[in-house]
Structure 1
C-alpha cells in the first residue's frame, strides 16, 4: 500500500512538473514567437548577466508590458508601455528603475513618468572633449530620480505640456588618495552631489506613423528644466535644455532611413559635474562609454539604415558624430561613431523589438579604439 501511495505521489509530481514546463513553453512562445495582429497587451521578459571587477557578478532582468488604451478596430491610438529594470551584484550594489508611457485614446494626451534608484560605481574620466583613459577613476554613485511629464494635443501633430521632478545624487571616491583629479580639479564642481527639484515646459511636433517602429514622419521634441536646489544644495539655481529632431523615410518595402540630431545644454553659473551632458549611450553615439566625455554643452547626430528582412528579423547600420564643449562647438573636434546591429521583433503588430548593437568610436592616441556592445528593447530612436 505504501509503495502504491509513493508511486501515486511520484506520478502526480511528474504531472505537475510537466504542466509547469508546458506553461513555461507556452509563455515563452507567446512572448517571443506568437504572431498576433490584434491589439492585445503583451509582456516580455529579458534576463541580464554581467561581470566587472568593481561590481563582481551582476544579475537581474527587464520587463516590457505594452498595451493600447483604445482597442477598437482601426483607431489611431499609439502603443503605451510600462518598462522596468532591476539588477543586483555580489558586492551589494543595485539598480532599480520603472518607466511608463501612456497614450490616451486618439493620442489626445501623452503621459510619461520614470522613477529610479542607482547604487553603482562608474568610471569618471574628467571633463571635456579630450579626456584620457589613463586618468579614469572609479567613483561610487547613489542616485534617486523621479520625472513626470504630461503633454496635451493642442492642434494637429503639436503637443504642449509640463515636465517636473526631482533628484538626489551622492558621490564618493573609493580611494583615500587625496591627490586624484576628482578631489583636486577645481573644474569638477559639487563633487559630493546634491539634491534639486525642477519644473518647466515641453513642446513636441509629431507626425510619425508609428511610435515604436517608424517608417515615415518627423518628431521634434524639446523641454526646459528649471532647477532649484534643496536641503544642503538650496543655493543652486540652474536649468537644463534638451532638443531632439528625428525624421524617417521609407525607401522601399524593406528599407527605412532615419536621421536623428540632439543638442543639450546646462544653463546657469554653476556646473555640477553630475548634471553635465554626457556623450555615449545605447541610443546616441553608440560605441562610447557613457560619460567618457562630458561638458556644459552636447551635440550629436546620426543616420541609421534599417533593413526589415522578415516580419521577425531586421538588420541596421549606423554612422554618426558628436562632441561636448564648454562654450561653442567646433567641427574639427567632432568625434565619429559607426556600427551595426540586429533586431528581433517579438511583437510584429506593435513593432516592438529586442536589439543588439555594436558601435565603434574614435581611437585616442595611445589607446584602443572606443567600442561598445548594447542589448536593449526598442529602436535607438
Structure 2
C-alpha cells in the first residue's frame, strides 16, 4: 500500500511540473502541497483506498538537484486493514545529505501459512497484527550517485486473533505474541537511473545491514543483510525496455515470523500471496519486458523465480519456485511517465493486480 501511495505522489507532482506556467514559477524552487486518493487491488488486501497529503519541494529549474518530499499517507481495505504513515525523502546541502525516515502504524489482519518453503495452503490460519514503527536513515553522498549512512529501526508488534490450537496459539513460532525489535546498522543506495518514475536506462542498488540485540531492547536477536538491485536497458526497438531485478535477504539468529523473508507481493514474485512462504533467507529474481502498443497503452510480460529457506543452501537453490504473467499499461496523462498497471500472474495461484506505477 505504501509504495502505491508514494508513486501516486510522484505522478501528481510531475503532472503539475509539466504545465508551462508552473515550470516558470520554479526558477527559484517552490513548495507545493499535493492531496490525492488512490484505489487499488491486490490479493492480500482485496480493494483498498489510500489518501495522502504531501509537502513537496521542487528545486530550481535546471539545477540538477533532487526533489524533496514529506508525505502523510493512510489507506484502508475492505478487509479492515488500515495503515497510517509519515515519511521523509529530503535532500539538503546541495544534495550532499539525504534524510530518509518513516513513522507508521498499521493494523493488518492476514493469513499465516507457517514457516518454510513447503507449507500447505490448507493449513493457513488467521491472525491480526498491529505494528508501530519508526525508521531513520540519514545518508551522506560519498560519490556522485552513492549515498551511505547509519540506519536505525524500532518496531513494536502486537499479534492477536490467533486460531485456537493453531501454530501461533501453541507457542511454536518466534514472535507469535508480537514483541519489540530494535535494529542498528548501515544502509546505502546507488542510483544512476534516468527517471524514478519510468526508468529506461541505468541501475538502482539498495543495501542495508542491521542487527537486533536484547541489549538494545529487542525481544529476540537476529541480523539482516538485504540487497535489492535493479537495472534497465532500452532495446533497439523504439521505447522497448528490458528490466531486471534481484533481491537477496539473509538473516541470522531468530527473527520473529512477521520479520522474515516473504515470498510474493505485487512487486516481486507476482502470482504468490505475500507471505505464502516465509523463512529466514529469501532470494528472488525477475525480468520484465515492456512494450508500447498504441496511443498511451502498453503491455508487459514478466517471469520470476524465488524461494525461502532456513539456510541459503543447495536445497533452497534447487527448489526455486517459478511465476509468470502479463499485463496492460495505460498512461492517464500525456508526457507523464506513470502508468496504471493491470497484471495477471500465475505462481501458486492465479492472481490479478490493479495499481499505479511499475512493479519495479
TM-score normalised by the chain length of structure 1: 0.77
Give the equivalent residue in structure 2 for 1:198: 183
Q: Does 1:114 align with 2:114?
A: no
Structure 1 distance, partners of 2:214, 2:33, is: 40
Aligned length: 337
Q: Does 1:136 align with 2:99?
A: no
Give the equivalent residue in structure 2 for 1:379: 358
Q: Does 1:100 align with 2:84?
A: no
Structure 2 distance, partners of 1:260, 1:120, is: 27
- The question of whether the paired residues in 2 share the 8 Å contact of 1:164 and 1:198 is answered with yes
Q: Does 1:333 align with 2:319?
A: yes
Give the equivalent residue in structure 2 for 1:215: 200
SS of residue matched to 1:182: coil
- The question of whether the paired residues in 2 share the 8 Å contact of 1:354 and 1:375 is answered with yes
Greater relative contact order (Cα < 8 A, sep 6+): 2
**Structure 1 position 67, deviation (Å):** 4.4
Q: Does 1:181 align with 2:167?
A: yes
SS of residue matched to 2:197: coil
What is the aligned-residue RMSD (CA, Å)? 3.4
Structure 1 distance, partners of 2:42, 2:228, is: 33
SS of residue matched to 1:320: strand
**Structure 1 position 228, deviation (Å):** 3.2
**Structure 1 position 323, deviation (Å):** 0.3
Structure 1 distance, partners of 2:65, 2:53, is: 19
- The question of whether the paired residues in 2 share the 8 Å contact of 1:264 and 1:298 is answered with yes
Structure 2 distance, partners of 1:350, 1:98, is: 25
Q: 1:75-119 deviations in whole A, cap 9, x for unaligned?
A: 323344455543446886532233332344764333322222122
Q: Matches of residues 210-359 of structure 1 in structure 2 within 5 Å?
A: 210-229=195-214, 234=218, 236-251=220-235, 252-268=237-253, 270-309=254-293, 312-329=296-313, 330-346=316-332, 351-359=337-345
Give the equivalent residue in structure 2 for 1:127: 115
SS of residue matched to 1:301: strand
Structure 2 distance, partners of 1:135, 1:42, is: 47
Indicate how the Cα distance of structure 1 residues 136 and 332 shifts in structure 2: closer, same or farther if over 3 A, else same: same
**Structure 1 position 265, deviation (Å):** 1.7
**Structure 1 position 257, deviation (Å):** 0.7
Q: Does 1:360 align with 2:349?
A: no
Indicate how the Cα distance of structure 1 residues 325 and 339 shifts in structure 2: closer, same or farther if over 3 A, else same: same
Gaps of 5+ in 1: 1-29, 363-369
Indicate how the Cα distance of structure 1 residues 314 and 203 shifts in structure 2: closer, same or farther if over 3 A, else same: same
Gaps of 5+ in 2: 1-11
Give the equivalent residue in structure 2 for 1:21: none
**Larger Cα Rg: Structure 1 or Structure 2?**
1
